[in-house]
Protein backbone atom coordinates (compact mmCIF):
# COMPACT_ATOMS: atom_id res chain seq x y z
CA UNK A 1 0.00 0.00 0.00
CA UNK A 2 1.46 3.35 -0.95
CA UNK A 3 1.18 6.57 1.03
CA UNK A 4 -1.66 7.95 -1.11
CA UNK A 5 -3.80 4.86 -0.46
CA UNK A 6 -3.20 5.18 3.27
CA UNK A 7 -4.02 8.89 3.17
CA UNK A 8 -7.20 8.31 1.16
CA UNK A 9 -8.32 5.58 3.58
CA UNK A 10 -7.54 7.76 6.61
CA UNK A 11 -9.44 10.63 5.01
CA UNK A 12 -12.40 8.33 4.34
CA UNK A 13 -12.49 7.45 8.05
CA UNK A 14 -12.31 11.15 8.97
CA UNK A 15 -15.20 11.89 6.61
CA UNK A 16 -17.31 9.17 8.25
CA UNK A 17 -16.57 10.70 11.67
CA UNK A 18 -17.80 14.08 10.36
CA UNK A 19 -20.91 12.49 8.85
CA UNK A 20 -21.71 10.99 12.26
CA UNK A 21 -21.99 14.56 13.65
CA UNK A 22 -24.86 15.41 11.28
CA UNK A 23 -28.36 14.52 12.43
CA UNK A 24 -31.69 14.29 10.69
CA UNK A 25 -33.71 16.92 12.60
CA UNK A 26 -36.77 14.65 12.82
CA UNK A 27 -34.94 11.52 14.00
CA UNK A 28 -32.40 11.62 16.88
CA UNK A 29 -29.86 9.52 14.96
CA UNK A 30 -26.95 10.64 12.78
CA UNK A 31 -27.30 10.39 9.00
CA UNK A 32 -24.56 7.73 8.72
CA UNK A 33 -26.21 5.32 11.17
CA UNK A 34 -29.60 6.06 9.58
CA UNK A 35 -28.23 4.65 6.32
CA UNK A 36 -28.65 7.88 4.36
CA UNK A 37 -25.04 7.73 3.11
CA UNK A 38 -24.73 5.25 0.25
CA UNK A 39 -21.12 5.90 -0.77
CA UNK A 40 -18.12 8.12 -0.02
CA UNK A 41 -15.62 8.35 -2.87
CA UNK A 42 -12.23 10.03 -2.44
CA UNK A 43 -9.88 10.38 -5.39
CA UNK A 44 -6.10 10.84 -5.31
CA UNK A 45 -6.56 14.63 -5.49
CA UNK A 46 -8.61 14.45 -2.26
CA UNK A 47 -11.80 15.47 -4.02
CA UNK A 48 -14.79 13.86 -2.33
CA UNK A 49 -18.09 12.73 -3.78
CA UNK A 50 -20.83 11.59 -1.43
CA UNK A 51 -23.81 9.66 -2.70
CA UNK A 52 -26.68 9.98 -0.26
CA UNK A 53 -30.43 9.77 0.00
CA UNK A 54 -33.13 11.31 2.13
CA UNK A 55 -35.80 9.53 4.14
CA UNK A 56 -38.40 10.76 1.62
CA UNK A 57 -38.21 12.77 -1.63
CA UNK A 58 -40.19 15.61 0.00
CA UNK A 59 -38.10 15.55 3.18
CA UNK A 60 -38.26 18.97 4.92
CA UNK A 61 -34.44 19.17 4.97
CA UNK A 62 -34.02 18.26 1.27
CA UNK A 63 -32.50 21.69 0.59
CA UNK A 64 -30.37 22.11 3.71
CA UNK A 65 -29.09 18.65 4.65
CA UNK A 66 -27.00 18.01 1.50
CA UNK A 67 -25.47 21.50 1.87
CA UNK A 68 -24.62 20.82 5.51
CA UNK A 69 -22.95 17.54 4.52
CA UNK A 70 -20.98 19.27 1.76
CA UNK A 71 -19.85 22.16 3.99
CA UNK A 72 -18.79 19.94 6.91
CA UNK A 73 -16.80 17.62 4.63
CA UNK A 74 -15.19 20.61 2.86
CA UNK A 75 -14.16 21.96 6.27
CA UNK A 76 -11.66 19.09 6.66
CA UNK A 77 -8.19 20.41 5.86
CA UNK A 78 -7.29 17.46 3.62
CA UNK A 79 -10.39 17.81 1.42
CA UNK A 80 -9.78 19.81 -1.72
CA UNK A 81 -13.43 19.79 -2.82
CA UNK A 82 -16.65 17.97 -1.94
CA UNK A 83 -19.82 17.29 -3.83
CA UNK A 84 -23.03 15.65 -2.62
CA UNK A 85 -25.26 13.79 -5.02
CA UNK A 86 -28.79 12.88 -3.92
CA UNK A 87 -30.34 9.67 -5.19
CA UNK A 88 -33.54 7.81 -4.46
CA UNK A 89 -32.33 4.61 -6.09
CA UNK A 90 -32.64 2.53 -4.04
CA UNK A 91 -35.18 4.39 -1.92
CA UNK A 92 -34.33 4.68 1.77
CA UNK A 93 -35.96 2.17 4.09
CA UNK A 94 -35.55 1.26 7.74
CA UNK A 95 -33.58 -1.80 6.59
CA UNK A 96 -30.68 0.54 5.78
CA UNK A 97 -30.38 1.67 9.40
CA UNK A 98 -27.55 0.28 11.51
CA UNK A 99 -28.34 -1.85 14.54
CA UNK A 100 -27.11 1.08 16.65
CA UNK A 101 -29.73 3.37 15.07
CA UNK A 102 -32.50 0.77 15.46
CA UNK A 103 -31.56 0.31 19.11
CA UNK A 104 -31.55 4.08 19.67
CA UNK A 105 -35.07 4.30 18.22
CA UNK A 106 -36.35 1.31 20.21
CA UNK A 107 -36.74 -0.90 17.14
CA UNK A 108 -34.59 -3.75 18.49
Confidence band (pLDDT; 50, 70, 90) for 2?
low
Strand partners, 37: 52
What is the mean pLDDT of the segment spanning 52-61? 88
pLDDT in tens, 17-41: 999 999 988 888 999 999 999 999 9
pTM of the predicted model over 0.85: yes
- Helix/strand/coil (H/E/C) assignment for every residue in 13-37: HHHHHHHCCCECCCCCCECCCCCCE
Reply yes or no on domain 3-104 having CATH 1.10.490.10: no
End-to-end CA distance of the chain: 39
Q: What does pLDDT average to over the chain? A: 91
CA dist., res. 23 & res. 33, Å (int): 10
pLDDT at res. 14: 95
Percent of the chain predicted with pLDDT > 90: 74
Q: CA nearest 26: which of 81, 53, 65, 52? A: 65
Give the domain ranges of the chain.
3-104
Amino acid sequence: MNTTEIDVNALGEKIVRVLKTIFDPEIPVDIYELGLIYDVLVNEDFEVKILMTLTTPNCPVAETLPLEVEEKVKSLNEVKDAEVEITFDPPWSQDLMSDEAKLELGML
